[in-house]
A and B are shown apart, each in its own frame.
Chain A
Amino acid sequence: MLTKRIIPCLDIKDGRTVKGVNFENIRDAGDPVELGALYAAQGADELVFLDITATNERRKTLSELVNKIAHHINIPFTVGGGIASVEDVQVLLQNGADKISVNTSAFKNPALIKELAREFGSQCVVLAIDTKKEIDGNWYVYLNGGRVKTDRLCFDWAKEAVELGAGEILLTSMNNDGTKQGFALDITQQLSMNLPVPVIASGGAGTMAHFADVFEQSGADAALAASIFHFKEIGIPELKTFLAQKGIPMRL
C-alpha cells in the first residue's frame, strides 16, 4: 500500500540550512548535507531543499550543493527556490535532484510548467504555492516568499497548474506557518480531494496529532515540516510510529 510521506524541509541560504518563522527571522540550523543524511537515516521519506539565496553566485552554489546532496542521500529529494527556466531545471536534475519545485516564476509564466513537464516529465515538476486566507474567507496565492499578494484563488491556480502538467502540489498556508497550531485542513482538503495529483501539506505542524489530522481529515498525501524536526521537538521515528499506530500507512 502506498504510504503517506513525512518530508523534512531544509531552507538553504549560501549553502547553509536556515528556517524562517513566518518567512522572517531566519536562524541557522546546520549543514544541509549532514542534516539531510541524518533525516534519511531516521526514516524521512523524502527531503525538500528550498534555496533562498539571493546573490549572483546562487545558481552555482546551489548546483554544487545539489550534487553533494545527491552523492550522500539515498532517498528522493526536491529542490526549489528561484527556478525560472528549463536550463535551471536541467542543471539541477543533472546534478542529481529528483524533482524541482517552481513557485513565483510559474505563476508569472504558466507556460513554464508545460515546458518543464514536456521536457522532464510531470513526475519531477512540483508546484509550490504560498497561500493565505483573507478576511473574505478565500485563500489567495502569494508570491515572492509570501511578500506579494495576488488576486488569484489558490484552488484555481492549482487546478490550472495541474492541467499544464504539474505532477504534485506543495501547499504552504501562511496563516499556519510558524504557528505550531496545526496544518490548514480546509484548503489542503479542497486541493487534495479535487485534484488528481498528490498534495504535500505544509505550514503549522506543532504536534504529532497535527500530522494525523492532516492525513485523516484533509487527505494529504504527504506532510512537510521544518523547525519541529530541526530543533528536535519531534523525532521522525516516533512520529512515524505514532501515525502507524493510528492506522495511517507509513514506511517504518
Chain B
Amino acid sequence: MKLVIIKYNAGNIQSVLYALERIGATAVVTDDISEITAADKVIFPGVGEASTAMAYLKERKLDRVIAGLQQPVLGICLGMQLMCRYSEENHTNCLGIFDEDVKAFTASAAATIKIPQIGWNNIHDLKTPLFKGVKENSYCYFVHGYYAALGEHTIAATEYGIRYSSALHRDNFYGTQFHPEKSAGVGEQILKNFIEL
C-alpha cells in the first residue's frame, strides 16, 4: 500500500511521518501531483495559518488535486480546517469538501477559555470506522485557535466553551481537529484505522 503525506508550507509534517513509522507504516512526503493522485491513501496534515496555506496550495494547483481525490484522505488540524468551506482565519475560502465553516474561539462571559486551546480534551459521539476500537470520551491532543462548527459531517464532537466538530467525514474524506500523531495510544489506533479503511 502506498501512503502519501502532502508536503506544503505548514508545520508538523515530520511528526505524522514518525507516528506512522511507530505503527509500522511507511509513507512518502511529497508535493508531486502524480504521486499524490496515485497513492492508496493520502494524509493532509498541518499546523499553521489558513490563508498562507491556501495561497500556497492554489499556487501549486494542489487545491484542486486534493478536492478531487477518490482514495481515503485524512486531514489533520489545519489540514481538516482547509477541507472545510470557509475559515474566519483571515477570511479564507477553503477547499469546500466539508460544508462546515471554521470559526474563531472567543471567550464569553459564560465560559472563560484560554485561546488557543492547548492540551488533552475528550472526543465523543464517535462515528465511522475511523474510531473503531476507540472508547467514547477518549482523550486526544488539541492545539488550535479556530474550530469547525457542528454539522451533518460531524463524526466526533468536543467541548471547549462551545461544542464543535473534532472530526468530520464525507465520502472518502476524513478530518480530525486533534493530532492523532501526538495523541498517545488513542491516536495510534486512529491512524491504524485510517490505514485499514
Interface residue ranges, A against B (CB under 8 Å) = 1-5, 40, 45-46, 70-72, 74-76, 93-96, 98, 120-124, 167-168, 196-198, 221-222, 251
Query: B153 an interface residue at 8 Å Cβ cutoff?
Result: no
Query: B103 an interface residue at 8 Å Cβ cutoff?
Result: no
Are A121 and B14 in contact, with the CB atoms below 8 A? no
* Interface residues as binary, B6-43 with A (CB distance below 8 Å gives 1, 0 otherwise): 00000110110011011000000000000000000000
Interface size class, chain B: 35 or more
Query: B184 an interface residue at 8 Å Cβ cutoff?
Result: yes
Q: How many A-B residue pairs have CB under 8 A?
A: 90
For this complex, 21 residue pairs linking A to B, each with C-beta atoms less than 8 Å apart, are: A1-B121, A1-B159, A2-B119, A3-B120, A3-B139, A5-B119, A72-B22, A75-B182, A75-B183, A76-B179, A96-B15, A121-B49, A122-B145, A123-B116, A123-B145, A124-B11, A167-B116, A167-B118, A221-B114, A221-B118, A222-B119
Looking at the complex, which one of A40, A45, A96, A123 makes contact with B47 (CB distance below 8 Å)?
A123
* Interface residues as binary, B45-70 with A (CB distance below 8 Å gives 1, 0 otherwise): 00111000000000000000000000
Are B48 and A121 in contact, with the CB atoms below 8 A? yes
Looking at the complex, which one of A4, A94, A196, A251 makes contact with B14 (CB distance below 8 Å)?
A94
Are A71 and B121 in contact, with the CB atoms below 8 A? no
> Given the complex, which residues of B lie within 8 Å of A96, measured CB to CB?
14-15, 18
Are B115 and A74 in contact, with the CB atoms below 8 A? no
Which chain B residues (132-149) contact chain A, with CB distance < 8 Å? Answer: 139, 141-145
B167 CB, min distance to chain A CBs, angstroms: 17
Are A198 and B47 in contact, with the CB atoms below 8 A? no
Query: B185 an interface residue at 8 Å Cβ cutoff?
Result: yes
Query: B187 an interface residue at 8 Å Cβ cutoff?
Result: yes
Across the A-B interface, give the 6 residue pairs with the lowest CB-CB distance, nearest first: A251-B139, A251-B120, A123-B143, A2-B121, A76-B182, A96-B14
B6 CB, min distance to chain A CBs, angstroms: 16
Query: B122 an interface residue at 8 Å Cβ cutoff?
Result: yes
Query: B107 an interface residue at 8 Å Cβ cutoff?
Result: yes
Query: B193 an interface residue at 8 Å Cβ cutoff?
Result: no
Are B18 and A71 in contact, with the CB atoms below 8 A? yes
